[in-house]
């Protein structure tokens, strides 16, 4: 691949939304590097996806320390691509990472301790070849570490210059409010919450979207396709060998693909076809629908190819939803036990 020069029209197509009450603005759709940017994937293919995303106005790349496989390899690969292609554009990019889930052996390679979070951030910066990230998240609540310690670590990451903003991920409503109050007192407000959210995983509507809005935080929705259930991959009842279910990714639970879930997905697919969308496109559009002050700031989409990236970005071009469409979607868009995160956290508080 030759020298990369970004498309001059890259900011002409996507909508950009303010992240809560901060000055940070994010594209309506952002690129998550969770599943397709590890050491098991072709680096040149990753370069093509990232280049095309940026050319289409997607400047937000989201990672975590444990993304791979193996853990850390997604950050390493992004670092290689940043050095080769994106050096002149670093100030335009929003690069985010997280720590909280298991990264390695021993008691200080997981959780929310100050030691783990700050040492992990240093290793993340080394892997990416950066001196700072734009948002550093606590990836999950840790019932074994005082919340004050976790938030103080995020505050230190910002005041030390290793992060521009601080955020949290997968925290419930009351814990979000407590965390936001601690950070306000420290002088480093939380600017963003990253929860899972999809038509089959609607827990955020039970208080979290309100909490984020009240606290002035943007919302970055991850897994809007419900681990692939809201795509065409499983609609015929089969499990493709290269799918998350077929490969046995850690994020996939074997009991998620039930006849009941398939029935809901097929009904939603019919609604999407009537709207002129794929099921995946409608699922993304729905997460981003107007909910007033509770509206999601951006949705993280994954991509294993340029073609899949472009298809998912097509969700941004869709028309809004009519009241009749939303009522019909609500018949089928119900929680279906696809939120994999609560089993490793203390509660939904």
Instruction: State yes or no: pLDDT of 252 exceeds 80.
Output: no
Query: 97: how many CB neighbours lie within 10 A of its CB?
Result: 28
Contacts of 20 (CB under 8 A, 6+ apart): 191, 192, 212, 215, 216, 217, 218, 297
Residue pLDDT, tens place only, 55-114: 999 999 999 999 999 999 999 999 999 999 999 999 999 999 999 999 999 999 999 999
pLDDT at 13: 87
Instruction: State yes or no: pLDDT of 211 exceeds 50.
Output: yes
Q: Considering only CA atoms, which of 94, 26, 35 is closest in space to residue 296? A: 26
pLDDT at 348: 65
Report how far apart, in Å, the C-alpha atoms of 38 and of each of 67, 88, 122 are.
Answer: 7, 24, 19
Helix (H) or strand (E) holding 73: helix 73-81
pLDDT at 254: 56
Q: Quick one: average pLDDT of 204-212?
A: 97
Q: Quick one: average pLDDT of 39-44?
A: 96
The pTM of this model reads 0.93
Instruction: State yes or no: pLDDT of 182 exceeds 60.
Output: yes
**Domain 16-256+284-320: CATH architecture, name and number where available:** Alpha-Beta Barrel (3.20)
Residue pLDDT, tens place only, 257-306: 889 999 999 999 999 999 999 999 999 999 999 999 999 999 999 999 99
Q: Quick one: average pLDDT of 197-206?
A: 96
- Report residue 243 as tokens: 């799918």
Q: Quick one: average pLDDT of 136-164?
A: 98
Confidence class for position 342, pLDDT limits 50, 70, 90: very low
Q: Quick one: average pLDDT of 33-41?
A: 96
pLDDT at 59: 98
Residue pLDDT, tens place only, 238-250: 766 554 444 455 5
Query: 347: how many CB neighbours lie within 10 A of its CB?
Result: 10
pLDDT at 241: 53
Domain ranges of the chain: 16-256+284-320
Strand pairing class (218-221; 163-169): unpaired
Work out the mean pLDDT of the chain and round it to a whole number. 93
pLDDT at 174: 97
DSSP 242-259: TSHHHHT-TT--TTSS-H
Confidence class for position 234, pLDDT limits 50, 70, 90: confident
- Report residue 198 as tokens: 């999809």
3-state class (DSSP) for residue 23:
coil
Strand pairing class (16-18; 60-62): unpaired
């Amino acid at each position: 691949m030759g020298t990369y020069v970004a498309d001059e029209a890259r900011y002409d197509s996507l909508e950009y939304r303010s992240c809560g009450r901060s000055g940070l603005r994010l594209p309506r759709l952002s690129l998550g590097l969770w599943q397709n940017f590890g050491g098991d994937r072709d680096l040149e293919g990753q370069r093509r996806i990232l280049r095309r995303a940026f050319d289409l106005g997607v400047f937000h790349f989201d990672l975590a320390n444990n993304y791979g496989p193996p853990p850390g390899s997604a950050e390493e690969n992004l670092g290689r691509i940043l050095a080769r292609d994106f050096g002149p554009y670093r100030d335009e990019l929003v690069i985010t990472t997280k720590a909280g889930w298991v990264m390695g052996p021993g008691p200080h390679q997981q959780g929310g301790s100050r030691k783990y979070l700050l040492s992990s951030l240093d290793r993340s910066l080394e892997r990416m070849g950066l001196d700072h990230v734009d948002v550093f998240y606590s990836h999950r609540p840790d019932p074994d570490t005082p919340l004050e310690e976790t938030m103080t670590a995020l505050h230190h990451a910002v005041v030390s210059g290793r992060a521009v903003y601080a955020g949290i991920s997968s925290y419930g409503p009351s814990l979000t409010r407590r965390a936001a109050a601690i950070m306000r007192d420290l002088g480093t407000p939380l600017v963003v919450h990253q929860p899972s959210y999809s038509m089959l995983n609607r827990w955020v509507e039970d208080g979290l979207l309100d909490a984020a809005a009240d606290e002035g935080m943007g919302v970055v929705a991850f897994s809007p396709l419900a681990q692939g259930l809201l795509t065409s991959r499983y609609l015929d009842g089969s499990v493709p060998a290269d799918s998350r279910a077929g490969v046995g990714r850690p994020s996939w639970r074997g009991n998620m693909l039930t006849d009941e879930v398939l029935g809901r997905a097929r009904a939603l697919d019919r609604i999407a076809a009537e709207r002129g969308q794929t099921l995946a496109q409608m699922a993304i559009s729905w997460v981003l629908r107007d909910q007033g002050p509770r509206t999601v700031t951006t949705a993280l989409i994954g991509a294993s190819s340029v073609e899949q990236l472009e298809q998912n970005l097509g969700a941004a071009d869709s028309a809004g939803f009519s009241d009749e469409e939303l009522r019909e979607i609500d018949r089928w868009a119900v929680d279906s036990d696809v939120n994999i995160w609560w089993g490793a956290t203390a509660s939904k508080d």
